[in-house]
Amino acid sequence: MVPLNTADQETPREREEFRRSAPHFADRITADGRDGWPVEAGRYRLVVSRACPWASRALVSRRLLGLESALPVAITDPIQDERSWRFTLDPGGLDPVLGIAFLSEAYDARETGYPGGVSVPAVVDVPSGALVTNDYHRITLDLATEWTALHREGAPDLYPEELRDEIDEVAEGVYRDVNNGVYRAGFAEHQGTYEEAYRRLFARLDELSERLSTRRYLVGDTITEADIRLFTTLVRFDAVYHGHFKCNRNKLSENRVLWGYVRDLFQTPGFGDTVDFDHIKRHYYQVHTNINPRRIVPLGPDLSGWLTPHHREELGGRPFGDGTAPGPAPDGEAVPEQGRAL
């Protein structure tokens, strides 16, 4: 999860209240290694929390592109302590490859005394144990465009060159008003700030609903980076943002178009099979004690609706373009039963 302490806001009141940090470590892993980090199978470890929407982008992209063996993953505990993300889900409380108890140790190996927050997703160089990048915007774009030599056969093109301008434009609005908008509302300290974020969030959702009423995907007729970025917020909406962050004009399940759209993606291999509702709910309700001081985790909502027919195929479109669906999740990466929609 990205720490909330630097600005990308647009209004003076929001600049006073809500700040999301820009990635401090923005190195890139490229096919030609021009930043000093070449694409190399098995060299790096992707550290994620299944609770975090920003990290979930990387999980979805990695699955769709078939990079599981080339870029192994480490899953953190959804509950943080004073040292942030920790590997308490692993035997002995240590990541079995990096040999560390806290992701902060990889940050320290990169920059001693780094004063910023410890965020996921993060890519760590296994030989040195040092962080390479925590640039959540760039990681997925590079997986799609720089790691192509290691993509599975039949991998989709998630960032097609001819559609990049439109993808970027759509994704920017989604980021500002939806991905980040729910946080602006949830962490608002004044009524006016909350109301401004709330209105912009639902105005953007209404615009997206209209756009998706006649097309299956956000850009073109296949899944792209834009869909991944919207999905990871929408899939958390009813479970946490509607109540916990007071984004409660209506539930997503009450919006026919967006509910159909997000279920379509959820039922597409590579999307729903990366979602852990147990991790999501426990993280938000137990870590954000300033919002939920008693740390009570709600039992709802009912998750069975995620697997109901969506009928979005009637709009046409080809989920993977000329490619194919990814296979099942690798051994050890399947979401535990308590976190799945059954």
Please give the structure tokens belonging to residue 341: 């929609």
C-beta separation of 151 from 324 below 8 A: no
CA–CA gap between residue 142 and residue 152 (Å, rounded): 15
C-beta separation of 32 from 149 below 8 A: no
Spatial distance between the Cα atoms of 199 and 185, rounded to a whole number of angstroms: 9
Tell me whether residue 85 is annotated as binding. yes
Contact partners, residue 133, CB within 8 Å, separation at least 6: 23, 25, 26, 27, 28, 29, 37, 122, 123, 139
Based on the residue annotation, tell me whether 159 is a catalytic residue of this protein: no
In order of 68, 100, 144, the CA distances from 324 in angstroms are 16, 37, 15
Instruction: Given the residues 44, 107, 159, 183, select the one marked as catalytic.
Output: 183
Q: Which of 44, 52, 194, 284 is catalytic?
A: 52
- Answer yes or no: 247 catalytic: no
Q: Give me the torsion for CA of 260, 138, 58, 92, rounded to 10°.
A: -150
Active site residues: 52, 183
Binding-site members for glutathione are 85
The binding site consists of: 85
